[in-house]
Amino acid sequence: MVERIFLGGGGNKEASKQIDELFINTIKEGRLEGIIYIPVALASKPYENCLEWFSSIFASRVSKIEMWINLENKVLEGVEKKMAVYIGGGDTLRLMNLIRDSEFDKQIISFVKNGGVVYGGSAGAIILGKDIRTAPEARNSEQTEGLDLIGGYSIACHYKTNNFSELMKISKIVEGKILAIEENAGIAFNGREIKPVGSGKSFIIKEGLDNLPIGDIITS
């Protein structure tokens, strides 16, 4: 099965280089035109600067880049045959609220079910998981449901070993497994199997388990 969902653990463009490369290869193999870039998790930085950064990584690799900063009335139906979607990092709670309030969550879920290619970087990765309380800014939120597109896993990014105890407690709260991704690491998911990518490591964290590193492939 071909990987259709890509998760970046965070960091700069060097840190995400290998997962970015796999994302681009999937776009080329699917003969897609380009990427829809969604940077709305960031509130303070001008989006033109975000687009400049994004283009420095991807513009030479694809024919087309569209930036969406207003998700109201945006439709992804049929787009899966033309474009991939990249959801950037920032404030996870802000991002989830914007997606939910605009009902764009339904668009993303249908897009994936129809074979669309999605990349989530940091906050963009976390909202694709089951529960967003893995992000510090979302711990006390009343609405904590993510899009649950990663086989029931919640996603934690920018993972470091000193986060382990806290994430173990959160795994009990969310009643499920957490996929913790270091910077310099990424995950490719095909709907059934989780494949680690990059020089960094990813771990499965759940109450009752040790800090289990992902080997070549984990079946969800």
* Torsion, CA 164, CA 191, CA 137, CA 21, rounded to 10: 90
**Predicted local distance difference test score (pLDDT) of residue 210:** 53
- Please state the domain extents for the chain: 5-219
Question: For residues 127 and 39, what is the distance between their CA atoms, to the nearest angstrom?
Answer: 13
Question: For residues 63 and 37, what is the distance between their CA atoms, to the nearest angstrom?
Answer: 13
DSSP state of 127: T
The gap from C-alpha 181 to its chain's centroid, in whole angstroms, comes to 11
**Predicted local distance difference test score (pLDDT) of residue 220:** 44
**Predicted local distance difference test score (pLDDT) of residue 110:** 97
Among 56, 168, 179, smallest CA distance to 120 is for 179
Digitized pLDDT (tens) for each residue of the chain, 220 residues in all? 677 999 999 988 888 999 999 999 999 999 999 999 999 999 877 899 999 999 999 999 999 999 999 999 999 999 999 999 999 999 999 999 999 999 999 999 999 999 999 999 999 999 999 999 999 999 989 899 999 999 999 999 999 989 999 999 999 999 999 999 999 999 999 998 999 999 899 999 987 665 555 544 454 4
CATH of 5-219, one of 1.10.3480.10, 3.30.2130.10, 3.40.50.880, 3.40.50.300: 3.40.50.880
**Predicted local distance difference test score (pLDDT) of residue 90:** 95
